[in-house]
Structure 1
Amino acid sequence: MRYGFLGPETTFTHQALLQALAAEDAALTGAADTGRGVATTRASAAGRKSAAERELRPYGSVAAATADLVAGDLDALMAPIENSVEGGVSGTLDVLAATQRIHIVAEQIVPITFVLAAREAVDLDDVTVVASHTHAQAQVQSWVRAHLPHAHLEPASSTAAAARDLAEADPAQARGRAAVCSPLAAQHFGLTVLAERIEDTIGAQTRFVLVARDGRIPRRTGADKTTVVVHLAHNRSGALLEMLEQFSAQGVNLSRIESRPIGDALGRYSFSLDLEGHLEDRRVAAALESLHRVCPAVHFLGSYPRADGRRSVIDAHTEDPAYERARQWVEGLRRQIVQG
């Protein structure tokens, strides 16, 4: 298996991928432990072989990793999609919305904490440039304003890239520079931590999605999420309300809704949505069928297990048995139609 992630090593995306692979290993080990004799030995050996054969590739952007995924050079990729402070990650949302033949198959949630790191111990007053990813900068802006009021913020492709570039710079270039990164990145690249837990919101989290290609949809677990991108009719009043009513009518709760520009003209937007439930749930399938009828485009991005394992609260009339009873009732009525 070949996995891509937003690199370099020690980014939060890299941590999310390692979390996902550790969970996969735990599942394999658990499955092996339930077996007996030769079956147990074979399952354990298969799990070890699978872990040993993994290749983890860092990428400079989600778009580049997605291109390799579609081309068949990767089997899956991990990408950030939502932050509890900053909301949706536009780069990931836009790439997923514009790419066919890929599906989200899993998600991971990573707690986010930042440090300010430099090549060597210096006073905060001597820091003139702070580099990091723009999302990280937004999450530490209050701390930076309070403690580094004269520092210039410089964007980097990732928090780990900011730490790596600082570590690789010559002493003259590194003078007065610092990076906002994870504690792991600071340690990995041999930087000195000037300040810890500098995030403005303690307890912030980022949600990451594991994306695969060619229509691979995991089975329903009962604690699932479905992601879609929907285009609205741009010349019809009430189009947004009409779209939302499809979910309300079927008892499907939305856990995330964000608008993103389609790009072909001003005022044209699509909506990226997370639904509570799985494609196998009758209420979710019915909502998607309705969307397909009333919306110009519906892009299905996957049904997959929730990272938090939380099950949705469902009204009795939207559970699968209620849909089946309704279907049988209508079929009974149809059989009474006079033929000829």
Structure 2
Amino acid sequence: MIGKTREYPQEIMILEAIVRRFPPDDFRKAEFEKKLYRKRAGYKGEKTLDYFLEQVDHSEMVILHDLRIPINRTHFQIDTLIITPYFLLIIDSKNYAGTLIFLPEFNQLIRVQNDIEEVFPDPILQTKIQASQLKAFLKKHHITPPPIENLVAISNSQAIIQNPTNDKEVSYRVFRSANVAFKIPPFYKKHTQSHVSKNEMKKIARHLIKAHEPLVPDPKSMNLPFDKMVKGVQCPACEAFGMDYRQGKWTCLNCGHKTADAHIQALKDYFLIYGPSITSKEFREFMKVRSPSTVKRLLSSMNLTFDGTTKGRTYFPGKSFFD
């Protein structure tokens, strides 16, 4: 069973909003675009692994996706955790392109792409550290950990994987995501003794899900040019800003496209960049809407909660506003 699904990361949503609204003539926009590209690639790799994992028999396992668990004064993250009666299995997903050269002697992964060499941390070592942290977490909650195994999934089908030292652990731990159905069964042969019951499996899952703290970056710490961020409603057709609201429709002044709900994405951008609240005045200025009655009608039409009287009301995103 899937105990925790993988959700679209709020970190990516924040970066998308920043890139959309960043002043186009500011050279720093390229930095955020690059970071967004990396985060999207990582998420795509995780979803690729999820697709192939769906084809595995789930009857004797609980699968938790995308965990971020506090430990001491920091957090440890696990892309995918499989809980079985016999063992726990951590799978870390990497979506790197190019040629990947594993050098475990120095705990390095070398990526060669377009004749450029880059050094990355050893993902096998990363999963070992995650296993150690997970073990400590379970002991803290008075749970005797079953054996913990670890794998590294390479999700980019075009990547070239090299193991120049013929290291046995690299061959054993590293695999292509499409092969996950064949990497799990050997662990059942290795670990034949049952350590936890089905109820205990669910207990482990509940503790981890309860402790999970999703990463939500604070845009205020990113040194953004808040006063220069692009305002207005963006056209979903041509992506130009500055749609005009008339007679219940947003009309793009650039391409003529009309739609009734373009303000919803604009409001999501506002919440993601400026914080989880907005007033009627702030809404009017950000959306570039002149009519107070129109602002009131638009705000009341969305899944928002509010606090205060009509005149001084502050609005917040509803529970499913970002779904």
- Which structure is higher in RCO with an 8 Å CA cutoff and minimum separation 6? 1
TM-score normalised over the length of structure 2: 0.24
TM-score normalised over the length of structure 1: 0.23
